[in-house]
Amino acid sequence: MTIALNDTVRRLLDSPHPAVLSTIDPDGSPQSSVVWVTRDGDDVLISTERGRRKERNVARDGRVGLTVFDLANPYLYAEIRGTVTVTEDTGRTVAVRIAEEYLGPGAGKEYGDAGDGAVRVVLRLTPTKVLGNATKA
């Protein structure tokens, strides 16, 4: 069952705060990565390269946790649990969008350059549970 995010959680995700994505390694142990995020409605989008550990983990087991907190007030946070689907980031549009949200207009140019041959993918996190004090605000 998917759930809707409240306005406080949406504001956290819409601001350029780093988030921590936790996935499940093949041996069952946790794996965490600091990531940049954006939203598409109540889904959270993350851009990464195909073949990275987080992408391989969610392709095998889509269950994840994502924690984001306000850099100015670290006590304001949300943990979003849910499942991830993986799709190719055609034209690297999501990678560019996220880079510009975090670094400013025009900063996504290097993320849009496919000269390195790497395939970018989008991890789409659909929330099933949201915890943390941002859920109470």
Domain boundaries of the chain, sorted by first residue: 7-89+120-135
What is the second-level CATH architecture of the domain 7-89+120-135?
A: Roll (2.30)
Contacts of 93 (CB under 8 A, 6+ apart): none
Tokens of 75: 């006590």
**135 and 78 Cβ atoms separated by less than 8 Å:** yes
Summarised one tens digit per residue, pLDDT across range 67-107 is: 999 999 989 999 999 999 999 999 899 999 999 999 998 87
Tell me: pLDDT of 122 over 80. yes
Tokens of 83: 């499942």
Q: What is the DSSP letter of 56?
A: H
Q: Where are the beta strands (DSSP E) in 5-119?
A: 19-24, 30-35, 38-40, 43-49, 63-69, 77-88
Residue that is written with structure tokens 């959270």 in the block? 44
Angle at 118 between CA 15 and CA 84, to 5 degrees: 50
Q: 113 falls in which pLDDT band (50, 70, 90)?
A: low
**Overall pTM > 0.75:** yes
Task: Find residue 63's DSSP bridge partners.
Answer: 83
Tell me: pLDDT of 132 over 80. yes
